[in-house]
Every structure is written in structure tokens, then in C-alpha cells.
């Protein structure tokens, strides 16, 4: 369980994290979603006692991180892919880490096996690919068999196999009853892994919601229908009380009706249909709408590029 109360981080005049409150509960995956620069990593570093809050507090299992008697037995974290000295072998990296918290040597071999790094365990990690480095980071996080796990952008830069592996791992850790806190800037990733969603933008929590609720609320679909007799069709559909709109290409958009209902209406009037399709709003769109006001750096695509550049 991770609890933040009025947690704040300021750097000079800029407020990176602005008095946020949240609770991350055991037994489920809590997604921490926000655009780049929203304050996700800063928040995670404060949870880990690495960055000092400017105000408020955050506790893990009821205690400040630095007061945990044996931190690795309670919290495991993958904060950044490269928090490893490239000159040391994977095995030795895990070995020194294990020693800090009195974790036995055989557990080092165990976690190496879990992440599938046996073949390269005695090679220096400087030569590791991003995916291997990520696996080593995860081995380090699992070392103390902790009940609380933090993953900061775990799938960044990974190949599809690595991404799938991490998703499965995250799901299974939560299924075992652990508290899992995962950050990402990709809504689609969160939709696949998280049960609960915390959305952060400009240092503030802008949504704290159940994932299923969020999807239900935001994936509202509409039906697109094209007909050569669209005037007559529109009349008929409006009679049924459905909300109509018109797409750019002249097709009708219908909210609140299924394609079957619309097809039946058209058929009963003998109207021709050239297209009848469901258009579902993407969660990515919902996320963009939610964070539209809180994105730190907008790409200014509307700006025409001057000629001759």
C-alpha cells in the first residue's frame, strides 16, 4: 500500500508535483498515466525516498521509505533502465544488492532464472540490450520478494516480446496480492495492464478511477451510416429519438442506436444503405481530451513551415 498526502515537489518556481493525494492498493495494478513531464517519475522517486518532497508526505506500508527496516523486502522498483554500472556483471550487480538487505545468494540465482538471464548472468551489463537491461532491473526489483512494486515506464523501448513479457509479469504480481504501481504515458498500455487508473497532468491528479469505469465512460461509440436517400433516412432516425450528426464526407452519425436498429429502420422504409459501421472512440482520444490542458509541450503542427527553409 502506498499513500500520498498533499505530496508536493517544487524546483525553484516550477511545481512538478502539486499537493497530490492518492492511494495505491494491494492486489491490483494501479496505472499512473500522464504525458511526459507530468510528474510521474518525480512522484515515484519521492515514494522511494530518493527525492525529498517540498511538502506533504508519502508512505509505503504506513512508513516513510527511509524508515523501512529492510526496504528491499518490502518494495521493489524499476525506476530507470540504466541504474546499473555497466562494468559489473549481472550476477554481481544482484549480489551486492542482495547483501545490503541480507538476502541469500541462492535468491540471486532464482531471480536470474525468473527473468531468463541465466546465459548472460556472468557477462558485464554494459553490453546488454535495452530489453536485457530491463530484465536485470526487474530481477533487482523482485530480489527481496517485496509486496510493493513500482515500475516506471517499464515497456519503453522494448520489443513486442519484451512488452508482452512485462505485461504478463505485472498482471501476475498483482494477482498474487501485491501492490503494483506502473507508470506510462500510453493509454493503450494502461488499458491492457491496469485495474485502476491515476491520471496526472501538470503535477495534479486529474482522474482517479476504476479502469473498467473509465473505459465504459470514454469508449462511447457511434454508428456511421451512408445512404443515397440520407434526408429521408435522417428524418426516420430522428423520429426514433436518436441523436444525429453529419460527418465531413456527408455520412450521418447516429448516437444511441445499434447498427441492427438502424438497419431495421432503413429496411422497413425500403431505403438503400451504402455504409453502416460502428465507430468507437479510442481510449487514447479520451486520454488526450482529459490531459489536453495539462500537456507541458505541445507540438505546434498547425504552424505552416516557412518556404525556403
Interface residues with other proteins (CB under 8 A)? 45, 48-52, 65-66, 68-73, 75, 77, 79-80, 82-89, 92, 95-97, 99-104, 107, 113-117, 119-120, 129, 131-132, 135, 140, 142, 144-145, 161, 164-165, 168-169, 172-173, 176, 178
Compute the distance between CA of residue 293 and CA of residue 291 in angstroms, rounded to an integer: 5
Please state whether beta strands 2-11 and 14-24 pair in parallel, antiparallel, or not at all (unpaired): antiparallel
Query: Beta-carbon neighbour count of residue 289 at 10 Å?
Result: 11
> 277: which strand partners?
224
Our CB check for other proteins shows the closer of 131 and 263 to be 131
Q: What are phi and psi of 155, to 5 degrees?
A: -100, 0
**Least distance (Å) between residue 127 CB and other proteins:** 11
Q: DSSP 3-state assignment of 203? A: coil
Our CB check for other proteins shows the closer of 39 and 294 to be 39
Cell of 186: 500510453
Our CB check for other proteins shows the closer of 118 and 284 to be 118
**Least distance (Å) between residue 165 CB and other proteins:** 5
Our CB check for other proteins shows the closer of 38 and 60 to be 60
Our CB check for other proteins shows the closer of 25 and 73 to be 73
Residue with cell 473509465: 214
**Least distance (Å) between residue 25 CB and other proteins:** 18
Our CB check for other proteins shows the closer of 145 and 210 to be 145
**Least distance (Å) between residue 33 CB and other proteins:** 22
Query: Beta-carbon neighbour count of residue 97 at 10 Å?
Result: 18
- Tell me if 149 sits within 8 A of 173, measured CB to CB: yes
Our CB check for other proteins shows the closer of 99 and 269 to be 99
CA-based nearest residue to 287, from 188, 182, 171? 188
- DSSP E strand boundaries for the chain: 2-11, 14-24, 29-33, 55-60, 75-78, 148-152, 179-184, 196-201, 204-210, 221-226, 243-246, 252-255, 275-280
Give Cα separations from 1 to 40, 48, 145, 194, 299 (angstroms). Answer: 17, 13, 15, 16, 37
Compute the distance between CA of residue 197 and CA of residue 29 in angstroms, rounded to an integer: 9
**Least distance (Å) between residue 52 CB and other proteins:** 6
**Least distance (Å) between residue 6 CB and other proteins:** 19
**Least distance (Å) between residue 195 CB and other proteins:** 18
Amino acid at each position: 500500500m502506498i499513500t500520498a498526502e498533499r505530496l508536493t515537489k517544487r524546483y525553484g518556481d516550477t511545481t512538478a508535483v502539486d499537493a497530490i493525494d492518492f492511494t495505491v492498493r494491494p492486489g491490483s495494478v494501479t496505472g499512473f498515466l500522464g504525458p511526459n513531464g507530468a510528474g510521474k517519475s518525480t512522484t515515484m522517486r519521492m515514494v522511494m525516498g530518493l527525492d525529498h518532497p517540498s511538502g506533504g508526505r508519502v508512505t509505503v506500508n504506513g512508513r516513510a521509505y527511509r524508515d523501512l527496516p529492510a526496504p528491499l523486502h518490502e518494495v521493489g522498483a524499476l525506476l530507470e533502465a540504466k541504474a546499473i554500472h555497466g562494468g559489473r556483471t549481472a550476477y554481481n550487480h544482484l549480489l551486492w544488492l542482495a547483501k545490503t538487505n541480507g538476502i541469500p545468494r541462492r535468491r540471486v540465482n532464482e531471480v536470474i532464472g525468473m527473468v531468463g538471464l541465466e546465459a548472460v548472468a556472468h557477462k558485464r551489463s554494459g553490453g546488454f540490450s535495452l530489453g536485457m537491461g530491463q530484465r536485470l532491473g526487474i530481477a533487482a526489483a523482485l530480489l527481496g520478494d517485496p509486496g510493493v512494486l513500482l515500475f516506471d515506464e517499464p515497456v519503453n523501448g522494448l520489443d513486442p516480446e519484451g512488452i508482452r513479457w512485462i505485461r504478463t509479469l505485472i498482471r501476475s504480481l498483482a494477482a498474487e496480492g501485491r501492490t503494483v504501481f506502473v507508470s506510462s504515458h500510453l493509454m493503450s498500455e494502461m488499458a491492457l495492464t491496469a485495474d485502476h487508473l491515476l491520471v496526472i497532468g501538470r503535477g495534479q491528479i486529474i482522474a482517479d478511477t476504476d479502469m473498467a469505469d473509465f473505459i465504459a465512460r470514454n469508449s462511447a461509440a457511434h454508428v456511421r451510416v451512408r445512404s443515397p436517400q440520407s434526408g429521408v433516412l435522417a428524418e426516420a432516425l430522428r423520429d426514433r429519438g436518436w441523436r444525429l450528426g453529419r460527418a465531413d464526407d456527408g455520412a450521418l452519425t447516429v448516437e444511441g442506436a445499434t447498427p441492427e436498429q438502424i438497419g431495421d429502420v432503413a429496411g422497413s422504409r425500403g431505403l438503400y444503405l451504402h455504409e453502416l459501421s460502428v465507430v468507437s472512440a479510442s481510449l487514447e482520444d479520451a486520454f488526450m481530451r482529459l490531459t489536453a490542458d495539462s500537456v507541458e509541450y505541445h507540438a505546434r503542427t498547425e504552424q505552416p513551415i516557412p518556404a525556403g527553409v
